[in-house]
Structure 1
């Protein structure tokens, strides 16, 4: 099975190694890039970290305050410390499960400029301050457009979308190569996987129904692919 994955450059090699170790041929192209912002944070009772990228920036710049809530195990691993985790690794679950815990407290929310707005609703119960540690920018070079062609021409068996912005950037490249309709047709006929409901919702807005793994991680995606292969 040939699998396409479009994570940022910082995470691609590790992702490729993991997929290849499971027997997959991999097409790996970054669809988004990361640009850091200059940020100073206040003291707080809790810090919410919603991505591995935010975790690495926060560690390097000493931005962690109070008890840390991480969106999932990979973010916790990047932090290298004990953290609270939601039962499902998405912003909606984090909001629902920690709303009462952070009530009345000072909470710093560290993330990108494209964060899920559901976490802003925590301001209803706590003193919430959002800090955008980095900007997500779409990549639209020759490499990205060639990846679109690979999928449009049927040379990929499965595609993994690990964020809404990655899905959006991919679709922008598809439009710019005049292959949008062909890509939508292909994604609807092969295995298209979204890591989590927000990404699935973004793909649905383009007319693509994506599968969602039980665990919103790359390991969860691999488990899903294995089950599909053995079915």
Structure 2
């Protein structure tokens, strides 16, 4: 299959090689663009280098790519998933990876350790009140820094010859312009994205576990079930 993966170009990373691993070709389609807040990136890195955080939670590869090269020292570091972890490890930054690939798993992952700890959150300029509330409700101190904006490209996705479209986030679905009545297989990377799709009248044929690899496994199971 040819799979269109909705990604920021900056976050495509290992998508192509991972798709090939599962027998598919990959095409990156970008329904949105990232605008980096350079001053905020420098501000966050300076705080980290001054040991102002007890933990940093990287919720995607883009902030890891922007901030990683600037870090001279770091506290406990948690990556939301394997691609984010690979980006950090590429800069020599050791990190832990959430067992599941959702920000809602961050606080349970830290457990009682979080109490009284300052948690650095370099994120997209998109509200995530559930994450902030979870940190604060468990005694942590959320130190959120928006370091980039996600802006819709307002361009129709190039899906010619693609057999499936894999939405990697709820916003990537919302910002996508495409023919929803086509025969292309709609795929959600996880349940949050799937819920957004269903609310908009698009039922995903495949729902992954929050990671690209897990979603590709689920897609192959779906394909095998049709044969």
Q: TM-score, normalised by structure 1?
A: 0.80
Separation in 2, partners of 1:225, 1:11: 21
Stretches of 4+ aligned residues off by more than 3 angstroms? 11-14, 20-23, 25-28, 183-186
Query: Would you say 1:95 and 2:107 are equivalent positions?
Result: yes
Q: Give the unaligned 5+ runs of structure 2.
A: none
The question of whether the paired residues in 2 share the 8 Å contact of 1:111 and 1:133 is answered with: yes
Separation in 2, partners of 1:30, 1:164: 13
Separation in 1, partners of 2:81, 2:73: 16
Q: Give the unaligned 5+ runs of structure 1.
A: 175-182
The question of whether the paired residues in 1 share the 8 Å contact of 2:189 and 2:211 is answered with: yes
The 3-state SS of whatever aligns with 1:147 is coil
Q: CA deviation at 1:29?
A: 1.9
1:229/1:208 CA distance change after superposition, 3 Å = same
- Structure 2 equivalent of residue 179 of structure 1: none
- Structure 2 equivalent of residue 178 of structure 1: none
Separation in 1, partners of 2:80, 2:21: 26
Alignment of 1:1-231 (within 5 A): 1-12=1-12, 14-20=14-20, 22-37=22-37, 38-39=39-40, 40-41=43-44, 42=47, 43-62=52-71, 65-80=74-89, 81-114=93-126, 116-121=128-133, 122-124=135-137, 125-141=139-155, 145=156, 147=158, 150=160, 156-170=162-176, 173-174=177-178, 183-186=179-182, 190-210=184-204, 211-214=206-209, 216-231=210-225
The 3-state SS of whatever aligns with 1:219 is helix
Q: CA deviation at 1:85?
A: 2.4
Separation in 2, partners of 1:169, 1:55: 23
Q: CA deviation at 1:75?
A: 1.1
Q: CA deviation at 1:218?
A: 1.7
RMSD between aligned alpha carbons?
2.4
1:48/1:147 CA distance change after superposition, 3 Å = same
Separation in 2, partners of 1:87, 1:18: 19
